[in-house]
Chains A and B, each alone.
Chain A
Amino acid sequence: MGLLLAYNRVVPLDSELIWVFLYIVFPFLIPLTIYIISIIFGSMVYSKGVAELRTRQSSSQSTHPNMLCNMRTTKNIPKVTSVANSEATFSPVVASEIQSSGLLVLSTVYSLSTWSKLKVAIKSIFGGRLTSAQEMLELGREETIQRLREEAIRQGWTQVINVRIETLCLDKKNDRPSAFVEFCVYGTGIRY
C-alpha cells in the first residue's frame, strides 16, 4: 500500500482491500483454517472412536470376561471358563492342563490433533493437566488392548497372560510435542 502511494497513484478502495487481504489476512488464513478443521473434526473423530470402542469392549467382555491379565505365571490366575469363579471356588490354571501357547503382538499409531498439540505447547509453559492429550492417549491404548483381545478371540486362545504395554513417541523433534505415538501391546495366549 505504501509503495502505491509513493507513486502518487490514486488507489481505489476495492484494490486496497485486495492488498490488505494478501498481506495481512491471507498469511493467517491457512493456519486458521487448519485449527478450525482440527477443532471441529478432531472432537468428532475422538467421540466416534470412543463410541465404537465401548460397544466392541462390551460385546467381547460379555462373551469372554477377564481374558487378559499381566501375571507372569498361571498359578494365581483363576480359570476363565467357569463363569461364576468366585473366591470360594477359586480354581487356578494348572500348567499341565495347558495344551498350547503362543505369542501375540499388536501395535497402533495414534496422533494428537493439531489443536491439542497447540494446547500442549501452551500448557507446558504454565503446567497443569493436559486433558485433551490424556484423552487421546487413553483412547489409543484402550483401542490397542481391545484389538489384542479380539485377535486372541479370533485365534482361539482361552486366556492371555503376561500382557505388557509400551508407549513410544515416534517423531519427536527436540522439545516440540510428538506428532505420532505408538502403543505396543503383547502377551502370551494360552489354551486349556
Chain B
Amino acid sequence: MQPSGMPILYLSNTEEIPGKTIFQTFGLVSGSTVRAKHVGKDIFASLKSIVGGEIKGYTELLNESRNEALQRMIVEAAGRGANAVVNIRFSTSTVASGAAELLAYGTAVSVQ
C-alpha cells in the first residue's frame, strides 16, 4: 500500500494514535479523487439494479478510488515530515450524475 522509501505512517481516525503521544502537528492534509463510472460496468450495474442488492463493480471501483485518495493524503503528510495522520475523515460527494469525488482528510502529526 505505502510507497517505498517513506517513513511508516500511523493512520487513525481517533484523535490520537492509540498507545503513542503526539509531539508536533503539521496541519490539515487531504487527498481526493474524482472517478467516473465505467461504461461496461455501467451496463451490468443497471441490469443488476433491476433486482437490487450489491453492485460489486461499483464497490470495487469506490474502494480502489478511496485507497487512492488516502494514498495522496499520505504522500502530502510525508512531504511535510509527519509520521502519522490522526482524526482521518472520509467524505464522498456526487459532482455530476455518474461521477463521484472521494475525499480523505486528517491532521498530520509526529508521534513517539
B10 and A110: CB pair below 8 A? Answer: no
Q: Which residues of A contact B40 (CB under 8 A)?
A: none
A72 and B15: CB pair below 8 A? Answer: yes
B90 and A105: CB pair below 8 A? Answer: yes
Mask, B90-108, CB within 8 Å of A = 1, is: 1111100110100000000
Query: In angstroms, how far is the closest chain B Cβ from the Cβ of A158?
Result: 11
A57 interface residue (CB < 8 Å to B): no
B90 and A166: CB pair below 8 A? Answer: yes
Q: Which residues of A contact B80 (CB under 8 A)?
A: none
Chain A: number of interface residues, binned into ranges: 35 or more
- How long is the Cα–Cα vector from A185 to B11 in the complex, in angstroms? 15
- Could you say which of A13-21, A82-90, A170-178 contacts chain B? A170-178
Q: Tell whether A110 pairs with B54 under 8 Å between CB atoms, given A99-B19, A168-B92.
A: yes
B14 and A173: CB pair below 8 A? Answer: no
- How long is the Cα–Cα vector from A140 to B88 in the complex, in angstroms? 23
Q: Which residues of B contact A100 (CB under 8 A)?
A: 19
Q: Tell whether A101 pairs with B52 under 8 Å between CB atoms, given A166-B92, A170-B58.
A: no
Chain B: number of interface residues, binned into ranges: 35 or more
Mask, A149-172, CB within 8 Å of B = 1, is: 000000000000110101011111
A146 interface residue (CB < 8 Å to B): no
Q: Tell whether A188 pairs with B12 under 8 Å between CB atoms, given A166-B92, A169-B94.
A: yes
- Cβ contact of B53, chosen from A73, A74, A110, cutoff 8 A: A110
B53 and A102: CB pair below 8 A? Answer: no
A-B contact count (CB 8 A): 137
Query: In angstroms, how far is the closest chain A Cβ from the Cβ of B96?
Result: 10
For A164, the closest partner residue in chain B by CB is B13
B11 and A170: CB pair below 8 A? Answer: no
Q: Which residues of A contact B10 (CB under 8 A)?
A: 101-102
Q: Which residues of A contact B14 (CB under 8 A)?
A: 72-73, 161-162, 188
B63 interface residue (CB < 8 Å to A): yes
B59 interface residue (CB < 8 Å to A): yes
A37 and B50: CB pair below 8 A? Answer: yes
Q: Which B residues are within 8 Å of any A CB, using their own CB?
A: 10-15, 17-19, 45-46, 48-55, 58-59, 62-63, 66-67, 70, 88-94, 97-98, 100
Contacts A37-B51, A72-B15, A140-B54 supplied; 11 other A-B pairs, CB < 8 Å: A42-B50, A44-B51, A99-B19, A103-B11, A105-B63, A107-B62, A114-B49, A143-B54, A171-B98, A184-B90, A190-B19
Q: Which A residues are within 8 Å of any B CB, using their own CB?
A: 34, 37-38, 41-42, 44-46, 49, 72-74, 95-103, 105-114, 116, 136, 140, 143, 161-162, 164, 166, 168-173, 179-180, 182, 184, 186-188, 190
Could you list some 10 contacts between A and B, CB below 8 A? A34-B50, A38-B51, A98-B19, A107-B59, A109-B55, A136-B53, A166-B90, A173-B97, A184-B66, A188-B13
